[in-house]
Amino acid sequence: MTVNPILEAKKRSQSGLLAGTIAYFIWGVFPIYFKLTEEIAALEILAHRIVWSVPFGFLILLFRKQIAETIRALKSPRKLAYLMLAAVALSANWGMYIWAIQQNQIFQGSLGYYINPLMYVLVGVVFLGERLGRLQGLAVLMALAGVIVLTAYGGRFPGIALFLAVSFTVYGVIRKQVEVGAMPGLFIETIFLFLPGLAFLFWQAAQGTLGFTSAVTDMRLLLIAAGPITVLPLLTFALAARRLRLSTLGFLQYIGPTLQFACGLYYGEVFTIAHAWCFGFIWLATVLLCFDAWRKRSGTASGTT
């Protein structure tokens, strides 16, 4: 049977688009999960997220036949060192985000992930010697203007947003130094965090402050579900990354913070004039980045035909 390569490529692209949309949709509605579990302390939720990700992640590795790749990574001291640093950055990002949601700071969480692509641009310029394009430079200035407006007129420095953006950028930069798949890498990272997370839960139990033991069954199931909801979007993202162009993924990534912003409105967070100006600048910066990426993609495509 003859396989039509054009049709096959179209199917791969469509399935990749679906997988990427699912990943960013789950990340976008994370605030709902953390609102449902907000009676549990943020550090305990973080520990559950780490601990329950390990067994579920192992099942995914078995399903995707990535055990051998994981073992090879475990045998490399260089990869392990990078993944340990990545685990620290990731756990800091997770912990801050959970705490932010519980403190009714969903808008700052959304802002952080809008800023994140701009952080990658700055890293490329400052540390990798990349040249800053005109539109990229304008986008960075707009983002800076948004932060200044929120700080000066809103009376609140967006520390949470910047912490989330910087920590996730650090995580992304570290992971780029390691040639390992998304799931094997995440599994090893959670292994590094597993014992501290488990020890924290046992310590809380010994102190009589473990929310899991006193919670109703529904809450316990929600806490256990922290594993699947952590691993599943990363799995679908890995599938999307293999089947889509990076520029397409770049457009999709804004689904997450946009849905988070909608969650902030839904949960009744106060949206001030300063917020409106700040997000306005950030959204304009986002449009400029997307247009710049589209223009470069179009130029590359026309240059190869």
In order, the DSSP letters of 246-291 are HHHHHHHTTHHHHHHHHHHHHTT----HHHHHHHHHHHHHHHHHHH
Query: Identity (one letter) of the amino acid at 99?
Result: W
**pLDDT attached to residue 305:** 39
**pLDDT attached to residue 136:** 79
Q: Is-contact 285 140, C-beta < 8 A?
A: yes
Specify the DSSP class assigned to residue 155: S
In whole angstroms, give the CA distance from residue 263 to residue 232: 21
Contacts 24+ apart (CB under 8 A), 137-145: 138/285, 138/288, 139/284, 139/285, 139/286, 139/288, 139/289, 139/292, 140/285, 142/281, 142/282, 142/284, 142/285, 142/288, 143/115, 143/118, 143/281, 143/282, 143/285, 145/281
Residues 6+ apart with CB under 8 A from 268: none
In whole angstroms, give the CA distance from residue 170 to residue 165: 9
> Rounded to the nearest 10 degrees, how much is the dihedral formed by the CA atoms of 254, 259, 262, 263?
-140
Specify the DSSP class assigned to residue 153: T
Neighbours of 300 (CB within 10 A): 10
Q: Is-contact 96 253, C-beta < 8 A?
A: no
Domain boundaries, the chain: 5-303
Report phi then psi at 55, rounded to 5.
-65, -40
Q: What is the full per-residue pLDDT of the chain (305 aa) written as tens digits?
A: 555 677 766 777 788 888 888 988 999 999 999 999 999 999 999 999 999 999 999 998 998 899 999 999 999 999 999 999 999 999 999 999 999 999 999 999 999 888 887 787 777 777 767 777 788 788 888 888 888 888 877 677 889 999 999 998 888 888 888 888 888 988 999 999 999 999 999 999 999 999 999 899 999 999 999 999 988 888 888 777 777 765 566 677 888 899 999 999 999 998 889 889 988 988 888 888 778 777 776 665 545 43
Locate all alpha helices (DSSP H) within 208-225, ordered by sequence.
211-214, 217-224
Q: Is-contact 143 118, C-beta < 8 A?
A: yes
Measuring CA to CA, which residue among 193, 154, 166 is closest to residue 274?
Answer: 154
**pLDDT attached to residue 198:** 96
**pLDDT attached to residue 3:** 56
Q: Is-contact 99 167, C-beta < 8 A?
A: no
- Residue 194 tokens, joined: 């597993």
Predicted model pTM: 0.86
Specify the DSSP class assigned to residue 244: S
Measuring CA to CA, which residue among 259, 286, 283, 223 is closest to residue 26?
Answer: 259
